[in-house]
Structure 1
Amino acid sequence: MSIFSSMYECERKLGHATELQDPQSVSLCPLTERRPNKARRACFLRNMDPNFGGILLTISKKHYQVIGKLLESLTVSLSRHVLLKSAINRIYRVDGTQIFDLDDIFDGDIIVCCCKKEAFLDVGYKMNKSYVQLLGSIMRMNEKFNGNENNFLSNITTDQLPESITLYIAISRLMSQTKWSAIFEGYGRAKGNLAYIVKMVDKQHMNVRTNNTYSEIAILRKLQSHENIIDLFYTVEQSKYDYIVAERLNCDLLNLLISNPAFDEKFVQRIMIDVAKGLEYIHSSQIIHRDIKLENLLVQLKTQTDLQSLDISVVKIGDFGLATYYEGRDLYQWCGTPHYMAPELVSYAGYDFRVDCWSLGVSLYFLLCNQLPYGNDCSKQEEVLDSIQKDFHSIPSEYVSSLSIEAQHLINSLLDKSRLCRISATEIRKHPFLQIRHE
């Protein structure tokens, strides 16, 4: 009996393989949280075949006790659609990582199947559109699952901060708190006029939230040489929590906008020059921020306590909790702040650096038009995301005559729904809006 005929009986009993058609380009899918005891769905591609859309299998130890059984089933299933030189005997993720155990397969994985004596090759694999949509639903379910978890940092008090922080910083108040972090304000004990923020992060939750790619401390350290990135003073890393001690600026741009509901173009241009310089440096360091928004654009005023004074010293980019390294392959992880998410991120079509440029476009629109370009009147997240995918922005009629052609062009260039047509951070720096000489 041939290996294919013996495998056919195996597949007939399992009945999990489904052919995927209408391929769509894909580079690398991020991994969702691993849950070995639960069934996981994965797409299996054929090594060195860039056009085959793949087959979808549901993986569990109940059906495949060991990885050998899975390889046998893959041999039968794939042989129906593509040419196999021999049985499948090795599988890899599309980043080239070999998988040796069923527990190493994640929900939403994209896996390349190799025959004997075949070397794994990345040939720019294509994947079916329906699998991308399935991947999207998996990610959304994980988001809901994570969102229903207990608040890890509930009832946090300053007594829980390590002595290596409280010895040098007098904590004055808890500024904000989420299920994954708490941010405190404090002042240096040696120099009471020096303000700090202390960010306390639950590492377990952030690793789940970022698919085990939480790298905030390493990324902040890497970016410290730039004037438009928030200054990091020191960190304390423990088994459960990370503590980040950084500079405290006067306010963020959202608070400044609330205090001053009308910003003129000259002032917004000043802001954009600083943010564009910081964003260009972030991207040149092969990092995507993934949460550019007014709340994360921090302002130091020349007049320290007057938020109605628009005399800015510097604008800096902060909060790198969702930032990640970009390694030349599209990312698919769903994260960020809904109103600021780029359409390719919302639709799980694969994204790169230009999601940050879209988010900056939303921020620029907000600063100049005093409203959001998408979902401004929506209260539900689903409505916001639907607006981003289906609607098209326009400059409010009351601002059309007052905004310069350069400002409107920059907004339109940043909010281009095609990421390939959207301008880059380097192009933002050179845009005419940032070159205008105001009298």
Structure 2
Amino acid sequence: MEEANGGVSPSVAPQKPVAHVRPMLAASTPSPTTSPSPSPKQHVLQVQRPALVHTVRAKKCRFVRNGDRFFRGVHLAVNLERFRNFDSLLAEVTRLLQGTECMPLPSGVRTLYSTKNGIRVTSAEDLKDGEIYACASAGELYKKTQYGQVMRKPRHLSPHLSKVPEHSPCSSDTGTSVRPRLIVIVRSGNRPRRVVRVLINKRNSPSFEVALNHMTEYVKLDTGAVRKLFTLEGKQVQNLEDLMACQSGVFIAYGTERHSRDDFELDLEEYKSLQSLTKSTGRRVFPPALMTMSVKPIRKFCGSAEQLSRKSKGSCSPLLRTSLMKKPPPPKPKMPRKTKTTAKKPPVASPPPSEEPDSLPETVAREYEAGRIIGDGNFAVVKECVLRKTGEYFALKIIDKDKCKGKEHMIASEVAILRRVRHPNIVHLYAEFDFPRQLYLVMELVKGGDLFDAIAAANKFNERDAATMTRHLCSALSYLHQRRIVHRDIKPENLLVDVDESGCRILKLGDFGLAQEITEPLYMVCGTPTYVAPEILAETGYGLKVDIWAAGVILYILLCGFPPFVSASNDQEELFDVILSGIFEFPSPYWDPISDSARELVASMLQPDQSLRFSAEDVLDHPWLSECYSSDDEASLQLYHRLGVRFELSQETRSDTHLSS
């Protein structure tokens, strides 16, 4: 039998190792008439060798920022079949670096250097598996340093402390309440010294040692890790309690180097940097420490201001005095009109009236009885309905599938998200009925109207009322964000007022038409102009914190009656430019009675830098909410009553119920 089957005959079932490479063996195996049959063991050897040689394996490389030894880099598996030219590889690395903590490259990644020898890489074939490559802009020379090294901890910090829980016994800050806040840090070194902002909260700073390690990633001292922290008055910060007690929120960071008295005197450039950064944190113009400190070069550059300071008896600097001069109050901006979302929707021809269903399908009608129309939108109509068994009222949202062709994925995403969420501050989905041409959603009926009507009626709210509504909204956002769901259309029109069993009014978040679960940065430009975040307009990739930006705009409106970003000529492009700049004011006299704590929270929610912007949990942890709000507080009940009166009056005149459609 062996002589008859001298080779691997196609009619005979081959052995398992040979099964996957029969064409290769057919080309390389000698004829049965000229050579004897190989043994099964020889077959295995002949199969495995070519398979290993012809396997194309991706090269796993790490890409860091040229000259930045603190950035740990991004990982990418480089497959030559995927990146057939070098430009496509550079474009992919540029995309991966966007949104990370590395210093931005103005024109993207244009050059790669091997960190092993500093040689420039010119093609994807030159990359080697497991190596690190420095990304640079066009014309940028290679900077030799220790790339991608894990941050070296201070000697007094144990390696395991970065994962210590909040109330760990080995932390000297046990019991210290860490409230979320933005602090400003002056980096020790050559003048003018760099000034940076850092977000501190209970998650990234469970102890003072971990807080210093967190600051190190942003301050980036030449001497390594941040080991010492001083206030502008020269007092060393020893623990979290000292850190939280500093009212100015401005510190000077040191590594192993010694400090001197001159370090606490700022030059003009540093002073200007502090002026802009402390203003962006929401504090009134300057921290108290800056109001009395001296600025060395001011006399040299501001002679006329020096003469002014001689005539006055105050101790604050001339630059401060000129900036604090009273100006005529600007005209009060107006609230925007009620708007639809800016997501582009294709024009659809309305079907003839005969095609509109006058009655419910038998499956739906068996359980529910439809009533009057209470809402109408581009894709859907909303009717009031009654559950036949109990007599309970619901809202029946009828989505016409013919009208939303091309948007089916958005409808599916909205329904999938509504199925998942269960929260007292989110509109509830009870049942759904899917038919070939219509989708029926049985939802919670909310008769109170929306927050936009309340703002229009009240103009503005006191701090207690604003804090209560902010807590309701951010409680819903915290629930969504923990599940990696972004709403993307937070605005007063989508915040509805409901009455609970005890007769209290609560805010509920509705309209999940643009909501999406996040698995990677999003780039779709959508939302409502007044409330859209700058990273959406910049199209650089965004995530969950676009909802916090919109919530910050709403909080600003609740406290003063108008939005922070407006266009004087009512031009949308001009409005977008103002939002992209991220610059807004707390104009007098409208903001004079508002507390510093409220200003600080608004500014922390409206930070253009996503890494510095508060999360929903940070907002809920902020002391302003805890000071202003209590679940059984009489003021909160008064707010519910006032909201109910407003919305009930609105219901009598308009007789409508808002439900997103």
TM-score bracket, normalised by the shorter chain, equals 0.5 to 0.7
1:40 counterpart residue number: none
Map 1:210-225 onto structure 2 (within 5 A).
Answer: 214-224=412-422
Query: Does structure 1 residue 300 correspond to structure 2 residue 498?
Result: yes
Candidates 521, 531, 544, aligned match of 1:330: 521
Candidates 576, 582, 587, aligned match of 1:385: 576
2:487 counterpart residue number: 289
Q: Matched residues in 2 for 1:297 and 1:265: separation?
A: 19
Q: Matched residues in 1 for 2:475 and 2:439: separation?
A: 28
Tell me the CA shift for residue 49 of structure 1: 9.1
Tell me the CA shift for residue 402 of structure 1: 1.7
Q: Matched residues in 1 for 2:550 and 2:408: separation?
A: 19
SS of the counterpart of 2:590? Answer: helix
SS of the counterpart of 1:179? Answer: coil
8 A Cα contact 1:46 1:54, kept in partner = no
| Unmatched 5+ stretches in structure 1 | 1-22, 28-43, 56-80, 87-114, 129-142, 305-310
Tell me the CA shift for residue 390 of structure 1: 3.5
**Mean Cα deviation higher: 172-181 or 204-213:** 204-213
Query: Does structure 1 residue 246 correspond to structure 2 residue 443?
Result: yes
Tell me the CA shift for residue 200 of structure 1: 2.7
8 A Cα contact 1:287 1:325, kept in partner = yes
2:347 counterpart residue number: 149
Query: Does structure 1 residue 261 correspond to structure 2 residue 452?
Result: no
Question: Residues 173, 325 of structure 1: CA spacing in aligned structure 2 closer, same or farther, 3 A cutoff?
Answer: same
Query: Does structure 1 residue 417 correspond to structure 2 residue 622?
Result: no
Question: Residues 191, 261 of structure 1: CA spacing in aligned structure 2 closer, same or farther, 3 A cutoff?
Answer: farther
Tell me the CA shift for residue 349 of structure 1: 1.1
Q: Matched residues in 2 for 1:45 and 1:381: separation?
A: 40
Residues 369-428 of structure 1 show CA distances to partners (whole Å, capped at 9, x for unaligned) of 212222365645434323322462222323322212121111111111111111111111
Letter paired with 1:244: L
Question: Residues 381, 179 of structure 1: CA spacing in aligned structure 2 closer, same or farther, 3 A cutoff?
Answer: farther
2:512 counterpart residue number: 320
Candidates 594, 597, 617, aligned match of 1:406: 597
Query: Does structure 1 residue 173 correspond to structure 2 residue 365?
Result: no
Query: Does structure 1 residue 340 correspond to structure 2 residue 531?
Result: yes
Question: Residues 165, 373 of structure 1: CA spacing in aligned structure 2 closer, same or farther, 3 A cutoff?
Answer: farther
CA RMSD across the alignment: 4.3
Map 1:13-412 onto structure 2 (within 5 A).
Answer: 52-53=90-91, 82-85=122-125, 146-150=344-348, 159=358, 161-192=360-391, 194-203=392-401, 208-209=406-407, 214-224=412-422, 226-249=423-446, 250-301=448-499, 312-327=504-519, 329-375=520-566, 379-390=570-581, 392-412=583-603
Q: Matched residues in 1 for 2:533 and 2:342: separation?
A: 20
| Unmatched 5+ stretches in structure 2 | 1-65, 67-73, 75-81, 94-120, 138-340, 630-634, 636-661
Q: Matched residues in 2 for 1:186 and 1:127: separation?
A: 62
2:618 counterpart residue number: 427
Residues 224-270 of structure 1 show CA distances to partners (whole Å, capped at 9, x for unaligned) of 2x222212110112334322211112222112222333322111211
Question: Residues 187, 355 of structure 1: CA spacing in aligned structure 2 closer, same or farther, 3 A cutoff?
Answer: same
SS of the counterpart of 2:398? Answer: strand
8 A Cα contact 1:146 1:209, kept in partner = no
Question: Residues 399, 390 of structure 1: CA spacing in aligned structure 2 closer, same or farther, 3 A cutoff?
Answer: same
Question: Residues 411, 52 of structure 1: CA spacing in aligned structure 2 closer, same or farther, 3 A cutoff?
Answer: same
1:109 counterpart residue number: none
Question: Residues 213, 367 of structure 1: CA spacing in aligned structure 2 closer, same or farther, 3 A cutoff?
Answer: same
Q: Give percent identity, aligned residues only.
A: 30
Number of corresponding residues: 321
Question: Residues 265, 150 of structure 1: CA spacing in aligned structure 2 closer, same or farther, 3 A cutoff?
Answer: same
Q: Matched residues in 2 for 1:320 and 1:145: separation?
A: 13
8 A Cα contact 2:553 2:564, kept in partner = yes
8 A Cα contact 2:496 2:510, kept in partner = yes
Tell me the CA shift for residue 201 of structure 1: 2.9
Tell me the CA shift for residue 185 of structure 1: 3.2
Tell me the CA shift for residue 146 of structure 1: 4.8
Tell me the CA shift for residue 346 of structure 1: 1.1
Higher relative contact order (CA 8 A, sep 6+): 1
Question: Residues 263, 244 of structure 1: CA spacing in aligned structure 2 closer, same or farther, 3 A cutoff?
Answer: same
Letter paired with 2:420: K
Tell me the CA shift for residue 326 of structure 1: 0.8
Letter paired with 1:159: D
Q: Matched residues in 2 for 1:244 and 1:384: separation?
A: 36
Letter paired with 2:619: I
8 A Cα contact 2:343 2:526, kept in partner = no
Q: Matched residues in 1 for 2:366 and 2:568: separation?
A: 46
Tell me the CA shift for residue 203 of structure 1: 4.8
Q: Matched residues in 1 for 2:383 and 2:572: separation?
A: 28
Question: Residues 232, 347 of structure 1: CA spacing in aligned structure 2 closer, same or farther, 3 A cutoff?
Answer: same
Tell me the CA shift for residue 289 of structure 1: 0.9
8 A Cα contact 1:154 1:179, kept in partner = no
More strand by share: 1
Q: Matched residues in 1 for 2:437 and 2:344: separation?
A: 17
Question: Residues 431, 380 of structure 1: CA spacing in aligned structure 2 closer, same or farther, 3 A cutoff?
Answer: same
Q: Matched residues in 2 for 1:358 and 1:206: separation?
A: 29
Residues 303-334 of structure 1 show CA distances to partners (whole Å, capped at 9, x for unaligned) of 99xxxxxx84322211111111111x211011
SS of the counterpart of 1:372? Answer: coil
8 A Cα contact 1:210 1:322, kept in partner = no
Q: Matched residues in 1 for 2:464 and 2:528: separation?
A: 27
Tell me the CA shift for residue 54 of structure 1: 6.4
Letter paired with 1:221: R
SS of the counterpart of 2:610? Answer: coil
Q: Matched residues in 1 for 2:348 and 2:530: separation?
A: 25
8 A Cα contact 2:367 2:388, kept in partner = yes
SS of the counterpart of 2:589? Answer: helix
8 A Cα contact 1:237 1:243, kept in partner = yes
Residues 121-140 of structure 1 show CA distances to partners (whole Å, capped at 9, x for unaligned) of 9x99x999xxxxxxxxxxxx
SS of the counterpart of 2:627? Answer: coil
Question: Residues 214, 397 of structure 1: CA spacing in aligned structure 2 closer, same or farther, 3 A cutoff?
Answer: farther
Question: Residues 393, 198 of structure 1: CA spacing in aligned structure 2 closer, same or farther, 3 A cutoff?
Answer: farther
**Mean Cα deviation higher: 159-168 or 418-427:** 159-168
SS of the counterpart of 1:398? Answer: coil
Residues 266-303 of structure 1 show CA distances to partners (whole Å, capped at 9, x for unaligned) of 11211111211111010001111111111111211469
Question: Residues 180, 383 of structure 1: CA spacing in aligned structure 2 closer, same or farther, 3 A cutoff?
Answer: farther
